Amino acid sequence: MTGATMAKRVVVGVCGSIAAYKAAEVVSALRQRGWQVRVVMTEAATRFITPLTLETLSGNRVAVDMFDRSNWEIAHIALSEFADVLVIVGATADVIGKIASGICDDLLTCTVAACDRPVFLAPAMNERMWKNSIVQENVGKLTRLGYRFIGPDTGYLACGKEGVGRLADPSTIVERLEKVACRGRGRTGRRR
């Protein structure tokens, strides 16, 4: 089977950011381009967008609860094995810090820790949070470890001001994932 005919599989992580609603656009666009999409949300993300919305757009059940026993699978392992690539849309300072510190206290961070495929983070937060020295230290650490960042962009923020911290345009996120898919999806290296 050639790379052009292989199904592309992505796990989309969604965090508790006002930008969570834009995950719907990313999920929809990926599915329209032929990707198989699974979504994992933090509990906080469900305050901004419902799992039902993302289930409808992805065509799959959304995973939120680490301890959901309605399926026999070990959720974070099954999700990490499913993925050709993982992207976190609206990555918060909290989730970035947890990943950088190896903290696995929810389904999303456990899935990232178990994932040996490329992991992208598309941050979304206030400019003051993005420029915080601890956040930047965590971003630097993750970059050195092979995690890839998409954005953030500069523009209108939820606080009503202009600045850096705006989620990258959903089309930009999709294009970056498409580029990885075009390079092949071998499963031998942690981050490519």
**What is the token pair recorded at 30?**
């990926």
Helices (H), 66-186: 75-82, 93-101, 107-114, 127-130, 133-144, 170-182
CA gap 106, 69 in Å, rounded: 15
Q: At 83, give phi and psi (nearest 5°).
A: -75, 135
159 included as an active-site residue: yes
Determine contact, residues 64/75, Cβ cutoff 8 Å.
Answer: no
- Active-site annotation holder among 104, 110, 159, 182: 159
Q: Look up tokens 């089309």; give the residue.
A: 171
Q: Look up tokens 């999709």; give the residue.
A: 174
Tell me the residue type at 168.
Answer: A
List residues with catalytic annotation.
Answer: 159
